Amino acid sequence: MNETTVEKFRVAAQMIGAEVHSCGSGLGTANATGRHFSTSNELSFFLQELAAGRSICASTLPEELQAHLSGLVVSDLSTAADATLCISFADAGIAATGSILVQLTDPAERAATALATKHAVFLRTSSIVPTLRDLSASLKAQLLGAGPTYFSITTGPSRTADIERVLTIGVHGPKELHILLLEGE
Partner 1 sequence: MADKRINTNINNTFLRKALKNFATAYPIARAKAFEGIDFAALRHRIAVSKLAGLQRLPELIAQFTASAEKSGAIVHFCRTPEDANRTIHAIIQSKNADFLVKSKAMTSEEIELNHYLEARGVRCLETDLGEWIIQLAGERPSHMVMPAIHKNKEEVAELFSAEIGQECPAEIPFLVEAARNALRRGFLSGQVGMSGANVAMADSGAMAILTNEGNARLVTTLPKTHIALIGVEKIVPSLDEALDIIDVLPKNATGQKLTSYLSFIKGPTVGDDRELHIVLLDNGRTDLAANPDFQAALQCVKCGACANVCPIYEIVGGHVFGHIYVGGIGLVLTPFFHGFDKAEEILKLCIGCRKCNEVCAAEIDIEGLIVDLRDKIRKPFGQKFMFGTMMKNRKLFHTALRAAYLAQKPFQSACGRIRHLPLILNRETANRSLPPIAEIPFRDLILKRKVLPAPAKAEKVLFYSGCLADFVYPEMCSDTVESLEKLGYSVAFPQEQSCCGIPARYSGEMDVAREMAKLNIDVLLKEEADFVVTICPTCTMSITHDFVKLLADDPLYAERSKRLAAKTLNYSELAARKIPPSPPLSKGGETAKQVVTYHDACHLKRGCGVFEEPRQVLRELANAEIQEMSDCDKCCGFGGSYSIKYPEISQEVLKNKLANINETGVGILAVDCPGCKLQIEGGLEASGSKVRVEHTATLVRERME
Which residues bind to partner 1, rule: CB under 8 A? 16, 81, 96-97, 99, 104-107, 110-111, 113-115, 132-133, 136, 139-140, 143-144, 147-166, 168, 170-174
Q: Partners of 58 in the beta sheet?
A: 87
Smaller CB separation from partner 1, 68 or 110: 110
Q: Which is nearer to partner 1, 96 or 183 (CB)?
A: 96
CA distances from 41 to 20, 23, 58, 71, 182 (A): 18, 11, 17, 8, 15
Backbone CA torsion sign across 41, 101, 183, 29: negative
* Whole-Å CA distances, 30 to 22, 34, 97, 109: 11, 8, 19, 32
> Based on CB atoms, which residue is closest to partner 1, 54 or 172?
172
Nearest approach, Cβ of 93 to partner 1 (angstroms)? Answer: 13
By the 8 A CB rule, do 27 and 3 touch?
no
Q: How far is the CB of 30 from partner 1 (least distance, A)?
A: 23
Least Å distance between CB 147 and partner 1?
7
Q: Judged by CB, which is closer to partner 1: 49, or 133?
A: 133
